[in-house]
Amino acid sequence: MGLDVGSKTIGVAITDPMKITARPLVTLDRRGLSADCKAIRELACAQSVDKLIVGRPLHLDGRPSQMLAAIEKLVDELKRTSDLSIDWADERLSTKEAEALMVESGVDPRKHRARRNEFAAAVILRRYLEEER
């Protein structure tokens, strides 16, 4: 399961059992560290997920973005409260690619903002799966 963690939402994407494709699943509203972790754990359980791929926000020059510290807290809490394996993936330009993917997929332009993070999570997860192959 791929995660694109933002300050207000968490985009979630899922792969197929063969780990070939990645598709947007849902966008979760952020509700605090414990609640966010609980929602992610429940979703992972419902989807029979054993591994999370979390987008690491970096600037184009490779420096960590301000958001990274908050995401690391979430990842640390997930590691502490679950048995899920967690890996990082570069998320640079994933939002731009997600916007293009939404247009390509025919998503209503009025829904782009609400679904941006889940499509970005799908981009992050797809890149990770491609690198693993």
Hey, what are 66's tokens?
Answer: 């301000």
Rounded to whole angstroms, the Cα distance separating 118 from 26 reads 6
Cβ atoms 40, 31 nearer than 8 A: no
Q: Under the phi-then-psi rule, with left for phi > 0, alpha for psi from -120 to 50, and beta for the rest, what region is 93?
A: left
CATH code, domain with 35: 3.30.420.140
Question: In the numeric block, which tokens belong to residue 31?
Answer: 């509700």
Helix 68-81 and helix 33-46, axial crossing angle in degrees, nearest 10: 60
pLDDT in tens, the chain (133 residues): 999 999 999 999 999 989 999 999 999 999 999 999 999 999 999 999 989 999 998 888 888 888 899 999 999 999 999 999 999 998 877 878 888 887 888 888 888 888 889 999 999 999 999 988 7
Contact residues for 56 (Cβ-Cβ < 8 A; gap 6+) = 64, 68, 71, 88, 89, 90, 91
Which residues constitute the domain of residue 32?
A: 2-132
Q: Give the count of domains, the chain.
A: 1
Rounded to an integer, what distance in angstroms lies between the CA atom of residue 37 and that of residue 59? 26
Q: Identify the pLDDT of residue 60.
A: 83
Q: Residue 54 and residue 117: Cα distance in Å, rounded? A: 12
Tokens at residue 98, please? 């997600």
